[in-house]
Structure 1
Amino acid sequence: MNTGNSPCLTGYASPGDRDYRWNPSVPAGAQPRPTPAAPVTEATIILCGRNDIPREGQIDPPAGPMQVDAIDAAGNRQSCRIGFVQGARDELTIS
Structure 2
Amino acid sequence: MYVYILTNPTKTVLYIGVTNDLPRRLYAHSNGRGDAGKFTGRYQADLLVYFENCPDATQAIAREKQLKGWTRSKKDALITAFNQEWQSIDLETWAG
Question: What TM-score results when the alignment is normalised by the length of structure 2?
Answer: 0.25
Higher Rg: 1
Q: Determine which structure has the larger strand proportion and give its number.
A: 1
